[in-house]
Amino acid sequence: MKQWCLLALTAFCVAGCSRGEPIALVGGESNLQQWRDRGVVINYWAEWCGPCRDEIPEFNDLYRNSPAGGPIVVGVNYDGLRGADLQEVIERMDIDFPTLLEDPRQRFGYERPSMMPTTIILDGDLLVKEVLVGPQTAESIGQALAH
């Protein structure tokens, strides 16, 4: 019985570790373990930001066309909207890529963007690789991921 309990406890701990640290998204959850060894694109956007609105289709395309194991694409609402307010803005702006519920800047060790739009590129170790300020295209994001 003692060995069975030890085996069950070990299996539980391994299963918990394999899920990784959870990260909350609008309508669901992901985990950082799934983000490792992939490029991560974090796009800060706001409804009042014209260039943000212009680049949303580029991020939607990158998200939709990313191959399995390809880059993770997520957004962050710069104004910190939550709940129904956030969901309404996402719908109005036709954002298809997942939006984080919390600003991840402290988790990944970078400053809050001071200009909009800003896109943060993380490497496979989830370290800041590049900070892109200004509107981006699928091509500019692809180049940042490739460096």
Give the CATH number of the domain where residue 39 resides.
3.40.30.10
Say what the pLDDT of residue 69 is: 87
**Residue 31 domain-assigned?**
yes
Say what the pLDDT of residue 26 is: 93
**Residue 8 domain-assigned?**
no
Say what the pLDDT of residue 20 is: 77
Q: With 60 as the cut, is the pLDDT of residue 3 above it? A: no
**Residue 9 domain-assigned?**
no
Helix (H) or strand (E) holding 118: strand 118-122
Pairing, β 72-77 against β 40-45: parallel
In the block, which residue shows the tokens 């030890």?
A: 6
Number of domains the chain contains: 1
Q: With 80 as the cut, is the pLDDT of residue 42 above it? A: yes
**Residue 5 domain-assigned?**
no
81 vs 10, more confident: 81
pTM: 0.84
17 falls in which pLDDT band (50, 70, 90)? very low
- Residue range of the domain that includes 139: 21-146
Say what the pLDDT of residue 27 is: 86
**Residue 15 domain-assigned?**
no
Q: With 60 as the cut, is the pLDDT of residue 113 above it? A: yes
